[in-house]
Amino acid sequence: MKILLTAFEPFAGSPVNSAQRSVELVPDTINGAEVVKVLLPTEFKRSTEAIHKAITEHRPDVVLCIGQAGGRMEIDLERVAINIDDGRIPDNAGFQPQEEKIFADGPAAYFTTLPIKEMTKEICAAGFPAIVSDSAGTYVCNHVMYVLLYYLAKEFPQTIGGFMHVPALPEQVIGKMPPAPSMSKESIASAITVALKVII
């Protein structure tokens, strides 16, 4: 089995991205499954090509995309991606779409094809707080989840995929007022590994 595990480049002026730092710590082989890691640009347009290229190149059985969600205090297994780009801030290319459809010929939404309830349960059982989330936002993370599920539905129907949001790292929130939640990269990496074991 081959798993494509993606993370994002730092964005919004932060020198690091918690998803990137955590994915680096996930083993390259889990229970015999190969884990291929790809870093995506935090850009609406280039991330679309990057995710398609990664799937075409690696032909994975499973795609799990990881993104940082500052302000969230737990691991979030995303249930749904919606067909809209609406940037609260510009992306890393300076592009800030407002209420734009991602694909004119796409449905309003796609549901994840990963077993998120079971993944959530096992992550919690391993000692890390996790929930099913019903919104991945309208920024680059929702965009990538939507684009991923669109391509899987249209071109790679054998592959399952979905999205996980993770909290910021402690170093990203130190001194913040009001205080903001965080989780260590080791804990996030362990939670991702547990989630992948459920899928495998």
Binding site for ligand PCA (CB under 6 A): 8, 11, 17, 19, 42, 67-69, 137, 139-141
Active site residue 65: no
**Helices and strands (H and E) in the chain: how many:** 6, 9
Query: Which amino acid is residue 22, in one-letter code?
Result: S
In the bound state with ligand PCA, the residue whose beta carbon lies nearer, of 19 and 114, is: 19
Active site residue 165: yes
Least spacing, CB of residue 113 vs ligand PCA, in Å: 20
Catalytic residue, chosen from 58, 141, 155, 186, is: 141
In the bound state with ligand PCA, the residue whose beta carbon lies nearer, of 61 and 97, is: 97
Catalytic residue, chosen from 43, 74, 78, 143, is: 78
Contact call for residues 14 and 172 (beta carbons, < 8 A): yes
Cα–Cα distances in angstroms (integers) from residue 75 to residues 51, 91, 199, in the given order: 22, 23, 16
In the bound state with ligand PCA, the residue whose beta carbon lies nearer, of 61 and 172, is: 172
In the bound state with ligand PCA, the residue whose beta carbon lies nearer, of 33 and 38, is: 38
Which is it for the CA torsion 28, 79, 180, 41, positive or negative? Answer: positive
Contact call for residues 177 and 126 (beta carbons, < 8 A): no
Catalytic residue, chosen from 74, 165, 171, 186, is: 165
Active site residue 43: no
Cα–Cα distances in angstroms (integers) from residue 10 to residues 19, 25, 84, 138, in the given order: 9, 17, 22, 17
Would you state the structure tokens that stand for residue 117, as one six-digit string? 């309830």
Least spacing, CB of residue 37 vs ligand PCA, in Å: 14
Would you state the structure tokens that stand for residue 43, as one six-digit string? 């850009």
Least spacing, CB of residue 83 vs ligand PCA, in Å: 15
Residues that are catalytic: 78, 141, 165
